[in-house]
Structures are given as C-alpha cells and as structure tokens.
Chain A
Amino acid sequence: MVFAIGILLGIGLIFNVLGTISLYRFPDVYTRLHGTTKCTTFGSLFTSAAVVVYGLSRYFDGYDGRFVTLSLHVVVAILALLISNATGAHALARASHRSGIMPLYAVVDHLAEDEKNKGGRIS
C-alpha cells in the first residue's frame, strides 16, 4: 500500500513541478495558462488520489469511520478544484484578450479579426 501511495504522489509531484516550470518557460499569458491549468490540476488530482487511497486503506485496517469521511471530503474537494480551475482559466484568458494582450508568435487570430470586423466585443 505504501508503494501505491508513493507512485501516486510521485506522478502528482512531477506534474506539479512541470506546471511550475512552465510558468517560467513559456513566452506569454495564454501558453502559461495552458501549462499551469492542465499540469497543476492533474498533479493535484493525483496527490489527492493518494490521500483517498490512504484513507480507504486505513479504513479497511480498523473500520474507523473517520477515514471514510476523509476520503469523501477529499473527493468533494477534487470536484470543486476541477470545475473552478477550468472556469477560472477561461475567465482569465477572455479577460486578458479583452484587455488588449495579444498572443505572441501567433500564426492566426480569428478572434481579433472578428472583433475588428464587428467593431467591438463578440458577445
């Protein structure tokens, strides 16, 4: 059981550290959002899954109800994290495009073209 928890924690930590590196390695806001949103969400998912596995294994050791409660609450936290991270990333991307930050090295930008054609914001 220690082995499984160690592997889950290891995968989660690798992705979290990659998310941190991506914050320094990518050139502009949008690509940084890619790195941080995906990698930190996925990494936190795995470290929390390690906690769920730990709670369930402790429960089957001694049938203590507290550990089931721990696992359930961690699952609720994971769901809250998934929904709020995706929506927050979308909000930040839209806000930075509207505040005039254009994507660096972009080969195509349909949103800016459509806004120019319409003469204002889409939606």
Chain B
Amino acid sequence: MVIFVASALTYLLLVWAGGAIEWLEVVIAIVFGGLMAVMARRWNPDITLRHSWLNPIRLARFVVYLFGPFLFALIQANLDVAMRVITGKINPGIVRIPTGLNGDGALTLLANSITLTPGTLTVDANDKSRELYIHWINVTNEKPGAEDICGTFPKWARRIAE
C-alpha cells in the first residue's frame, strides 16, 4: 500500500507540467502503482512497509530533521573532509557502536545519515544485536558509544521511524 501510493504520486509529480492533469495520466499512475506493489509483494514477501510511514506527523518530523540537524552535519562533514583532503592527515579504524533501535527503517535511516556525516562511513550492520560497524576516519576513542559518533541522530531516527 505504501509502495502503491509512493509510486503513483511520484509518477504524477513527474508528468505534472504546471497545468491540470489529464484523467488518462491518473489511470496510468494507478496501473503502474498497482504493478509496482504487486511486484514488490511477489519478490520480497518478507519485507513489509508499515503504514506509519504515511503518518503526516512523522513526515513533518522527517522534513524538520532533513533541514535541521542533518543539513548542519552535512556541511560540517564536508568542511572536515575538505580539510583532510588538503592536509592529508588521517587516523582511520573500524569501530562497533550499539544503536538500541528496533525498527529496520530506523536502522536504515541512521546508517544512511551516518554515511553522510562527519568522518564516518557505515561498513556493516548486525541485524540481531542491532549494532553498526563504522569506519571512522579519525579514531579518538577505541570504545565509543553512539553519542560520540552520531550525536542526536539515534533519537531522531527513533522519533521518525519507530
């Protein structure tokens, strides 16, 4: 259902050319959305997206997150990497952090955010113990907690996607 709504809306957004939408395009959008939903259900029967992704409060929180802490961390990350490119000073290593998140969507969001934020890159994830393995370009602490690396991101991920 989530996949159906998302693909139909994306199709309508891409064919919308400033004026009214023809009814034929709406029919095509519904057909393609249904096709995508059926294919996703057929190839990945285990993975189910929950309806909480359509909750407007969560979507609003996601937009706030995208333009607030995430954008700030992205700018900081790029200045950091730019300095390292120029000076060539690195001290890398792979560390393990516990996340304490339960949902798969929340873990995916956190892993993607970590990849785009200062000096860190997600290498592997352990589904059972909910831990992430992170390549850290400047290791200052060999046994870090979640706060050392990603700041307030786990809290945001829990509030958006759990």
Question: Which residues of A come within 8 Å of B, CB atoms?
Answer: 15, 18, 21-22, 25-27, 30-31, 33-35, 37-39, 41-42, 65-66, 68-69, 72-73, 76, 82-83, 86-87, 89-90, 93-94, 97, 103-112, 114, 122-123
Contact = CB atoms under 8 A, between A and B. Distances in A.
Nearest to B17: A69
B9 to A, nearest CB: 11
**Most central of B16, B75, B81, B84 by chain A CB within 10 Å:** B81
Interface in B119-134: 119, 121-128, 133
Interface string B13-24: 110111100000
Interface string B51-64: 00000000000000
Given A108-B93, A110-B133, A123-B128, A34 B116 contact: no
A26 B90 contact: yes
A86 B115 contact: yes
Contacts of A112: 94
Interface of B: 10, 13-14, 16-19, 74-75, 77-78, 81-82, 84-86, 88, 90-96, 111-113, 115-116, 119, 121-128, 133, 135, 137, 139, 142
B78 A42 contact: yes
Contact of A34 (B16, B74, B119): B119
A69 B18 CA distance: 7
Contact of A123 (B10, B86, B124): B124
Given A90-B121, A111-B94, 18 more contacts: A18-B81, A35-B81, A39-B81, A42-B74, A42-B78, A65-B19, A69-B18, A86-B115, A90-B123, A93-B135, A97-B123, A103-B93, A104-B92, A106-B92, A107-B142, A108-B93, A108-B142, A123-B124
8 contacts: A34-B121, A38-B78, A41-B116, A83-B112, A89-B115, A90-B121, A90-B123, A122-B126
Say what secondary structure dominates the interface of chain A.
helix
Q: Which 10 residue pairs of A and B lie closest in terms of their CB atoms, listed nearest first?
A: A65-B18, A108-B93, A110-B96, A86-B112, A111-B133, A86-B115, A22-B85, A42-B78, A107-B93, A93-B123
Contact of A37 (B85, B90, B116, B124): B116
B46 to A, nearest CB: 15
A103 B96 CA distance: 15
A34 B81 contact: yes
A31 B122 CA distance: 12
B92 A30 contact: yes
